[in-house]
Amino acid sequence: MSKIREAFLNKKAFIPFITCGDPDLDTTKKAILQMVANGADLIELGIPFSDPTAEGPVIQGANIRALAGGVTTDIIFDFVKDLRKEVTIPMVFMTYANVVFSYGAEKFISTCKEIGIDGIILPDLPFEEKEEFLPLCKQYDVDLISLIAPTSENRIAMIAKEADGFIYLVSSLGVTGTRSEIKTDLASIVKVIRENTDVPCAIGFGISTPEQAKKMADIADGAIVGSAIIKILEQYKTEAPEHIGAYVKSMKDAIR
Amino acid sequence: MTNSKGRFGIHGGQYIPETLMNAVNELEEAYEFYKKDEAFNKELSELFNEYAGRPSRLYYAEKMTKDLGGAKIYLKREDLNHTGAHKINNVLGQALLAKKMGKTRLIAETGAGQHGVATATAAALMGMECVVFMGEEDTKRQALNVYRMRLLGAEVIPVTSGTATLKDAVSEAMREWTTRIDDTHYCLGSVMGPHPFPTIVRDFQAVISKEIKEQILEKEGRLPDAVIACVGGGSNAIGTFYNFIEDKEVALIGCEAAGRGIDTFETAATVNTGSVGIFHGMKSYFCQDKYGQIAPVYSISAGLDYPGVGPEHANLHDMGRAQYVPVTDDEAVDAFEYLAKTEGIIPAIESAHAVAYAKKLAPTMDKDKIIVITISGRGDKDCAAIARYRGENIYE
């Protein structure tokens, strides 16, 4: 069983996202330790990309700040290697296909395995293109996470059948960012997913409040939160970790 | 790549969010149907001929030929099309296709503003809503085109993210498309992005080389020795090359914007300075650093100021079938002025890159050789910027 599955074992998973190096890696580390201490089940670590086309303004801002701060893929690999001494819950990278491709796919994916990264989420790598990295992911035992969207319809079964780790169910149309209301009929999408796989399914995009997290975790196996956490970083900068800890606690408590 | 579609050698593909996959699949299906549909093709031909003014002229540039003293030079006058550039060919095709698909709203990115103007024009003609994304930097460089788009009923959204140029306009248009798909067609302006766009845009632009072939055979009784076009994303170039790809005796030459030079960071010469990467839905050549971060590129020409190139060009380069040469700002501005003074034709600064290379190439060729340069657009939009480049403080 992949280590990612453990995050969903007998519980609803809360999955916070953070962009590595926003505004600096010291803050990222403190924030992650706060997330872990307050009940995060799996952590999504963003490797910044210059042109993150699936992100709304909030996470775009995190990418810009992190790159301006000077982080690179190599620096983040060293950071994670060090972080693994203290963090035992599963961690996945979230980045863009070009970051993996340009580094050299084999070098990138084998390094993930070596430093203790359990999976990779690439929002610009749909089912049709997953052969780009899947054989290497299988070889090095790193889960390539599949995404399913509100527009997937006839594609849900096909994607779910071949999914590894967990399924990232995109809650709404559009890019990342908080939303006051999520209108998609997610329950019927989850039903089709469950008919086709036992891989757990977590919902992300637009979730910011404990009420939303509870609702999503009731429908699926977990909730993913990104922009709401980045907003705390935007507001409190290096003082953010403590506030992130309190926020993660409120979200995890809501879905317990 | 077992499932991957739209490959040109190793390039192309569909590297886009899952949210858009059914939209591009639906577009591909519709295109496969309508490209063989007689009524669709008849309607498109009528639009090309009656509305856009096709076929465009193949003009023998006699003064330029004599002045350069080498190969005989013909100009393919896409600048004479309605809206003043080749962009209308693709836009009329896509807008008609979108309408057949039941879409009521067109969104587009634009660099110099030519594609935005063409899209706004087609939207006005076909009674569709239109939103154009344009880098804030470009809305300043091309203020007149912003006004033209608004005059045509389009909404122009200045994009402030990233470098606030064409690349960011593409990113923002893609983001908008993931937000609203049902009624909206993304009218991509070049032979780039995810499949099926590079193929669709190429097919609609291929009319350029189809006409060149017919016209040159009529005028000269033989094929040209070289066809030359400027390359940003590469739509007028692929249009110019496409029907000559199998004619190995015809050299295919794409002119990239070198900006201040390919040995500087202020360049947009993707094939000459870039490396293979994955961005904006496609695998191709991109200007990027070793970690895959896309480079901020530069060219005097807003239309060529893009860090990537269409996947079919990347493959023509890999196969050695086409040659991609860098042309600097200085050379392009000289050529802009040269064509104006020599032939009384003011080319777009984009097209001036092709003229600049032809000026170097023609004198090295014998007088019985033939070169065709595609003048992709007219230069009215650039006059104020070029005047400023020469130190004259003119504003539109």
**The predicted structure's pLDDT at residue A1:** 61
CA distance B135 to B110: 8
Task: Catalytic residue, from B109, B211, B312, B331: name it.
Answer: B109
**The predicted structure's pLDDT at residue B303:** 87
Residues in chain A: 256
Q: Given its phi and psi angles, is residue A40 left (phi above 0), alpha (psi -120 to 50 degrees) or beta?
A: beta
Residues of A in contact with B168 (CB under 8 A): 51
Full domain range(s) for residue A67: 3-255
- Of B167, B179, B286, which is closest to A173 when you measure between CB atoms? B179
- Of A73, A124, A132, which is closest to B17 when you measure between CB atoms? A124
Residues of B in contact with A77 (CB under 8 A): none
Buried b / exposed e along A47-77 (16+ C-beta atoms within 10 A): bbbbbbbbbbebbbbbbbbbbebebbbebbb
Q: Is the pLDDT of residue B333 over 60?
A: yes
Cβ proximity of A193 and A167 under 8 Å: yes
What is the CA angle A124-B242-B122, rounded to 5? Answer: 70
Residue B162 near chain A (CB below 8 Å) = yes
CA distance A65 to A149: 28
Inter-chain CB proximity A129 and B3 less than 8 Å: yes
Q: Which CA distances in Å does A131 have to A30, A134, B1, B7?
A: 36, 5, 6, 14
Q: Could you state, in order of their start, the residue ranges of all structural domains in chain B?
A: 7-48+86-201, 55-84+206-389
What is the CA angle A19-A63-A167, rounded to 5? Answer: 55
Give the mean model confidence (pLDDT) for residues A9-32. Answer: 97
DSSP secondary structure letters along B318-363 = HTTSEEEEEEEHHHHHHHHHHHHHHHS--B-HHHHHHHHHHHHHGG
Strands B105-110 and B184-186: what pairing?
parallel
CA distance B18 to A201: 16
- B294: closest chain A residue by CA: A50
**The predicted structure's pLDDT at residue B256:** 98
What CATH number did the domain enclosing A231 receive?
3.20.20.70
Q: Is the pLDDT of residue A28 over 90?
A: yes
Inter-chain CB proximity A50 and B277 less than 8 Å: no
Residue B286 near chain A (CB below 8 Å) = yes
**The predicted structure's pLDDT at residue B302:** 86
Tokens linked to A168: 């990232």
pTM: 0.97
CA distance A135 to A145: 13
Cβ proximity of A166 and A199 under 8 Å: yes
Give the mean model confidence (pLDDT) for residues B91-118. Answer: 96
Q: Is the pLDDT of residue B395 over 70?
A: no
Cβ proximity of A216 and A203 under 8 Å: yes
**The predicted structure's pLDDT at residue B92:** 98
Q: Provide the chain A residues 23-62 that lie in CB contact (below 8 A) with chain B.
A: 49-51, 53-54, 56-57, 60
Q: Is B299 a catalytic residue?
A: no
Cβ proximity of B206 and B246 under 8 Å: no
**The predicted structure's pLDDT at residue B2:** 59
Cβ proximity of B269 and B257 under 8 Å: yes
Give the mean model confidence (pLDDT) for residues B50-62. Answer: 98
Cβ proximity of B327 and B358 under 8 Å: no
Q: Is the pLDDT of residue B396 over 60?
A: no
Give the mean model confidence (pLDDT) for residues B228-236. Answer: 97
Residues of B in contact with A163 (CB under 8 A): none
Confidence of residue A9 (pLDDT cuts 50, 70, 90): very high
DSSP secondary structure letters along B33-82 = HHTT-HHHHHHHHHIIIIIS-PSPPEEE-HHHHHHHTSSEEEEEEGGGSG
- Of A72, A128, A173, which is closest to B181 when you measure between CB atoms? A173
Q: Provide the chain B residues 176-215 that lie in CB contact (below 8 A) with chain A.
A: 178-181
Using alpha carbons only, how large is chain B's radius of gyration in Å?
A: 19
Q: Is the pLDDT of residue B124 over 80?
A: yes
Please give, rounded to a whole number of angstroms, the shortest distance from the CA of A110 to a CA of chain B.
Answer: 16
Residues of A in contact with B15 (CB under 8 A): 97, 124-126, 129
Tens digit of each residue's pLDDT (9 = 90 or more) over B176-212: 999 999 999 999 999 999 999 999 999 999 999 999 9
DSSP secondary structure letters along B361-381 = HGGGS-TT-EEEEEE-BBSGG
- B17: closest chain A residue by CA: A124
Give the mean model confidence (pLDDT) for residues A207-228. Answer: 97
Q: Is B87 a catalytic residue?
A: yes
Residue B15 near chain A (CB below 8 Å) = yes
Inter-chain CB proximity B21 and A53 less than 8 Å: no
**Strand-pair partners of A127:** none
Give the mean model confidence (pLDDT) for residues B348-366. Answer: 98
Architecture of domain B55-84+206-389: 3-Layer(aba) Sandwich (3.40)
**Strand-pair partners of B72:** B370
CA distance B272 to B279: 18
The amino acid at B223? L
CA distance A221 to A163: 15
Residues of A in contact with B293 (CB under 8 A): 49-50, 67
CA torsion sign for B166, B168, B173, B174 is positive
Q: Provide the chain B residues 334-353 that lie in CB contact (below 8 A) with chain A.
A: none
Tens digit of each residue's pLDDT (9 = 90 or more) over B77-103: 999 999 999 999 999 999 999 999 999
pLDDT, averaged across chain B: 96
Tokens linked to B269: 């010469």
- B177: closest chain A residue by CA: A174
The amino acid at B294? I
Does the domain spanning B7-48+86-201 belong to CATH 3.90.1580.10? no
Inter-chain CB proximity B181 and A129 less than 8 Å: no
Tally the domains of chain A: 1
Residue B16 near chain A (CB below 8 Å) = yes
Roughly how many angstroms between the first and final C-alpha of chain B, as a whole number? 50
Burial of B261 (C-beta count, 10 Å sphere; 0-12/13-18/19+): middle
Q: Which residues contact B222 (CB under 8 A, 6 or more apart)?
A: B216, B370
**The predicted structure's pLDDT at residue A2:** 83
Cβ proximity of A203 and A15 under 8 Å: no
Residue A73 near chain B (CB below 8 Å) = yes
Share of chain A above pLDDT 70, in %: 100
Tens digit of each residue's pLDDT (9 = 90 or more) over A88-131: 999 999 999 999 999 999 999 999 999 999 999 999 999 999 99
User: Does the fold of domain B55-84+206-389 match that of domain B7-48+86-201?
Assistant: yes
Q: Is the pLDDT of residue B162 over 90?
A: no
**The predicted structure's pLDDT at residue B106:** 98
CA distance A170 to A96: 16
User: Within 13 Å, how many C-alpha atoms sit on residue B111's CB side?
Assistant: 25
Q: Which CA distances in Å does B125 have to A214, B122, B128, B153, B183?
A: 49, 5, 8, 10, 18
Phi and psi torsions of B226, nearest 5°: -150, 145
What is the CA angle B45-B47-B50, rounded to 5? Answer: 100
Q: Is B367 a catalytic residue?
A: no
Which DSSP helix (H) or strand (E) runs through B156?
A: strand B155-159
Phi and psi torsions of B135, nearest 5°: -55, 140
How many interface pairs between A and B have CB atoms less than 8 angstroms apart? Answer: 129
Q: Provide the chain A residues 142-181 that lie in CB contact (below 8 A) with chain B.
A: 147-155, 159, 170, 173-175
